[in-house]
Homo-oligomer: A and B are copies of this chain.
Amino acid sequence: MRPRHVVVRDIRRTTADLLDALAASGVAATHEAQGRAGLLATDIRPIQTDAVVAGSAVTVLSHPGDNLMVHAAVEVCRPGDVLVVALTAPSTDGMIGDLLATSLRAHGVVGIVTEAGIRDTTTLRAMDFPVWARAVSAQGTVKATPGSVNVPVVCAGQLIEPGDAVVADADGVVRVPRLAVAEVVDAVRERLASEERKRAQLAAGTLGVDMYGLRPLLADLGVVYVDVDADR
C-alpha cells in the first residue's frame, strides 16, 4: 500500500504536441470528443478572460486552509504542467497567492486548477498567470498539515491522475486520461473539421433541422407545426 502521505517525484506526462492540440481545440470540443466525460463542476471559474491552457496534471491533495503540500509540489513540477489542487474537505480559503504563483511559474507551471479559493487575483492577472478556482478569497492559509503530491485525486467531481491532460478555458476545465489523449486528439480534430464545414453552412442560412436531418425526428416525436397558436 502507498504510504499515507506521499510526494511522488516522477510521473509520466502527456507529450507537448498532444497538449498543444488540446489547447487549440478548447474545453467544449475536447469534452465532446471524449464522449462527454471528464468535465469539472461548473462552479470552477477562471479569474481571467478568455485564457486557455493545456498541461500535464501535477496533483495535490491538501488539507483545507493549508498550503504546505502546494509548496511541496513545486519541486516536482516541470515546464508545461498544470497544478491541480484538491481538498480533503470543502473550503473557499485563498490557498494560493502571487508568491506561490511566482514560484510555480519559475518552475514552468502554466496554470492552476483548484476546488479551493485563490487570492492576489489582480497581481495574477497582471502576471498573465491563469487560474481556475471555486472562489476568490483573501483568506490565507497555514503550512501545517500533511497531504500528498501526485496521487490520484477527485477535484470538483472528477478523478484526475498525475500526468493526465487538463484543459481549461473560459468554458471550464476538462480532464483527459493520459492514455486516452492521443485518441481524443484524433477525435477532436475530426470533430473540429466537421464543425468548420457546418459553421459555414449555418452562417449561409442553412437550417440545423435540415443540415442534421431532424425533420423526420420532429415529426416522429409528435411535434406539430402551426401557423398561429390556436390557444391564444
Q: Which residues of A contact B (CB under 8 A)?
A: 1-11, 26-28, 31-32, 35-37, 39, 41-42, 45, 49-50, 52, 63-65, 68-69, 71-72, 74-75, 88-94, 97-100, 102-103, 105-107, 117, 119-122, 125, 135-140, 142-148, 150-152, 154, 157-159, 161-162, 169-172, 174, 180, 195, 198-199, 202-209, 212, 214, 217-218, 221-232
Is there contact, CB below 8 Å, between A172 and B137?
Answer: yes
Assembly CA distance A226 to B230 (angstroms): 29
- Using known A-B contacts A6-B229, A137-B171, A208-B103, determine if residue A72 contacts B143 with beta carbons closer than 8 Å: no
Q: How far is the CB of A135 from chain B (nearest CB, A)?
A: 5
Number of copies: 6
Is there contact, CB below 8 Å, between B154 and A154?
Answer: yes
Q: Which residue of B lies closest to A43 (CB)?
A: B135
Is there contact, CB below 8 Å, between B208 and A9?
Answer: no
Q: How far is the CB of A58 from chain B (nearest CB, A)?
A: 13
Residues of B within 8 Å of A50, CB to CB, are: 122, 125
Q: Which residue of B lies closest to A74 (CB)?
A: B207
Is there contact, CB below 8 Å, between B221 and A100?
Answer: no
Q: How far is the CB of A75 from chain B (nearest CB, A)?
A: 5
Q: How far is the CB of A8 from chain B (nearest CB, A)?
A: 5
Is there contact, CB below 8 Å, between B94 and A91?
Answer: no
Chain A, interface SS category: loop
Is there contact, CB below 8 Å, between A171 and B68?
Answer: no
In the complex, 13 of the A-B residue pairs with CB atoms within 8 angstroms, ordered by the A residue number, are A2-B229, A2-B230, A4-B222, A5-B221, A9-B226, A31-B138, A42-B90, A64-B93, A65-B65, A71-B207, A71-B214, A106-B204, A154-B154
Assembly CA distance A45 to B45 (angstroms): 14
From B63, B88, B142, B203, give the contact of A106 (CB < 8 A). B203
Q: How far is the CB of A198 from chain B (nearest CB, A)?
A: 6
- Using known A-B contacts A72-B218, A122-B170, determine if residue A94 contacts B28 with beta carbons closer than 8 Å: yes
- Using known A-B contacts A157-B154, A170-B122, A229-B162, determine if residue A88 contacts B221 with beta carbons closer than 8 Å: no
